[in-house]
Structure 1
């Protein structure tokens, strides 16, 4: 339930920020949080569906968990616990203590900074989605039947060096398979009986969904199969296609369909988030006025001084060598908040 803990921490951050920035205002005073039916009441405080919806926006994975009665109860119990702790802390005026206010302001600073990154990332994802919609996010389900040159090959080298006899045998086999399909035999049944592709054989040749630039098929050397598939209509199958490893027939098991932007966000976020942030920081630095004042310090906190020259003797010859203190990497101080995901990764 690590994601749940992170969401509750986000709740506490919002509570602290609200109390600091607007003094007496709580997150529960926001209009969007006041919407919907009352879900929980804690010491007179009403927690409505609008607040649950807000948490789902902050952590999309909660949407699924909230639909499960068991995990929903755990989430609501955690919200109650967090609110009880918050109310008790406020009753002791802990929200006015300096260290609490400092943490709240730091969190507020990070949240606002991340809002800019999220805004840029959202724009980058929308642009990338439109650019890649046809090649990456238009998909179709396919099935394959294979007559491999060397069905028992264990190494890639064996697969790449078929003999003439192996080629002739594979060509004869795929020709017989094609004849069965042309006669009207069921593709899935033929695949189960005759295909040499171990990964799809038991599934009736079902190879799942592919896109035009499908990486999985590319790794397998199936680029020509991909091209053939997207020239087929649903239910059609190709003529035999020769690849490095054997002879193949591919069938379109569905019409093409385009993945929605919402579904595409997870891979796009994974692909673009680091570069988007790096590009944004580089752009901001290029126009900013930045000064590092004071003398630099080493990793121990001492001010750096010029290295002293020392004299050493090597093979009876005297030479001067300059010893420079080892430079250690600067500590990587990074305030991070839970990411808004649908994606990656409990």
Structure 2
């Protein structure tokens, strides 16, 4: 009797173990992976398949194969990079899902018939302009990127739908924005450097150090008459300019490559003047303005429309960003990061 009970117990355990193994096997099939949930937004699922079919994910994985090889999944650095970027892509998909839900609620979904017409017209233009209407070349280019014509059209239609939906929602949010003449005039007065006949420019040199105390010591040495170039070669931590005495060459006022705080400090200087310590994201600078060329400012009448468009764009971006954050804060969002990879 005891042996029968032991056998029955063993059979139960084996059955349980096989059921677990079976579940694990099911979870590991491509279909089950694709159907696994990576996020739920107000009750609507985003699956692993949705995430993996996202064009940005496909581009990410293509780049990973080029950089790390076909077996990139065995490379820890590659896996960590992909996971981090897929998390950001998922975050964008969550935002897009919220926009889609709001578009449905506000009856702002694009017309599907028009979408397909737009898609076919745009793809026809791509084939004509980039492939000389050669179907063979077009198909070869799609294949190289892992697409068939049908899968490419599906992806393209999805992106077009998303773009038009976002535009409709954005237009709805920002429809009451109005820019006044006073706002235009105030912006013009505060940003005249942007509206000169030619971009203003300045010939600069700088000395970069880590701390404000170090920068103050540098300024003291310069105030006592030491040569700027000599001090820069001794102490500057900018390896690209150190051996040139800190010389940065001629920089236009509208050059976006430079830190905004650095540029503000440089613009405030007169020709031949040396700044007090200026903090940027790189450390502390002592800036020397070797020379400066400033051009006449265009009259307001010539740039009024341009400024109006800029202010409209800025206000729209701000308002849409605020509204999206408001919707996101109010949404019920659950993320399942373990299913991302």
TM-score of the superposition, structure 1-length normalised?
0.28
Question: Which structure has more helix as a fraction of its residues?
Answer: 2
